[in-house]
Structure 1
Amino acid sequence: MTTRSAFGGRAVYPGTFDPLTPGHLDIIDRARRLFGHVTVLVAINRAKTPATAPVARATAIREALPSDWDNVGVTPWEGLTATYCAENDVRVIVRGVRNVADIQHEYELAGMNQSLGVTTLLLPTRPHLASISSTAVRLLGRQ
């Protein structure tokens, strides 16, 4: 089922996604309804030590997406998100925010990305999903 997008165009939703959470899926779903195509950009960040390799995380995300989300792609990426955007004609970065601390951090990143020619769209997490984080999911999985 193809979903009509509000804005058209392309967007990326970057993150570590270690692991993918219901909040991530909700942001992907909302973003895919706003844009013609959304790429979930699985970050390769040497400053973080994810439990799973980037290709395995990308594969898990692809498998978790409903089959009718045909305007969503998934790809691992090492480097600046703005670089990916420049190389792939993407003009919008989508980010989910759960709380005031997230907003402050994302606002600073949005300013940097704007100076590189890419707009950031902050989507607030739905209240019932705000307490779920990848870190919490990983910790619960270890118990």
Structure 2
Amino acid sequence: MLPAHGSLAIYPGTFDPFTPGHRDLVARARVLFDRVIVLLAMNADKQPTAEATVRAARVRDAMPAGWGNVEVDTWTGLTTAYCVRRGATVIVRGLRTAADLRHEYQLAAMNEQLGIQTVWLPSRPQLAATSSTVARAYRSAQSARPSLKE
């Protein structure tokens, strides 16, 4: 499938941390759209482990140099307002579970009322079990674990 000419998609999230599943979704979206912006959205309900600029740098570092049609940005406010500001008509979201679909459907319905379509990409089965929450918990457990060298 060739991307629609001039298409711009926004892939929003807190990306704390940016997981292999997130990277895979960007890899797939970048061939569907001319340009993809990975948007580190600020969410008042979440307490990220690092500032947005630090997380944005980590996301940029995770992107291969050849992915010239992928950009990383930060935003505080409604994702749809960012879409309008940048001229994007599509939000890309990943789905891991049926629970994700229920939640994402509500967001997509609201976004559509605001003129922005949502495209869902299912997680690859081998990546579906890892969420940012699981990755943070694992990292925390590893750092709290006593050294084996003692």
Q: What residue in structure 1 maps to residue 34 of structure 2?
A: 36
- Measured in 2, the distance between the counterparts of 1:35 and 1:5 equals 8
- Measured in 2, the distance between the counterparts of 1:79 and 1:5 equals 31
| RMSD between aligned residues | 1.0
Q: What residue in structure 1 maps to residue 3 of structure 2?
A: 6
Please give the residue correspondences for 1:28-107 in structure 2 after superposition, counting only pairs within 5 Å.
28-107=26-105
Gapped regions of structure 2 (runs ≥ 5): 142-150
Gapped regions of structure 1 (runs ≥ 5): none
Larger radius of gyration: 2
**Secondary structure at the residue paired with 1:129?**
coil
Q: Does 1:128 align with 2:126?
A: yes
Counterpart code for 2:45: A
- Measured in 1, the distance between the counterparts of 2:130 and 2:4 equals 28
TM-score (norm 1): 0.95
Q: After TM superposition, where is structure 1 displaced by more than 2 Å over at least 4 residues in a row?
A: 4-8
Indicate if the aligned counterparts of 1:42 and 1:76 stay in contact, CA closer than 8 A: yes
Q: Number of residue pairs matched?
A: 140
For 2:16, which of 18, 39, 43 is the aligned residue?
18
Offset, 1:12: 0.3
Indicate if the aligned counterparts of 1:5 and 1:32 stay in contact, CA closer than 8 A: no
**Secondary structure at the residue paired with 2:56?**
helix
Indicate if the aligned counterparts of 1:93 and 1:118 stay in contact, CA closer than 8 A: yes
- Measured in 1, the distance between the counterparts of 2:4 and 2:133 equals 32
TM-score (norm 2): 0.91
- Measured in 2, the distance between the counterparts of 1:53 and 1:71 equals 25
- Measured in 2, the distance between the counterparts of 1:58 and 1:34 equals 23
Counterpart code for 2:28: R
Offset, 1:5: 4.2
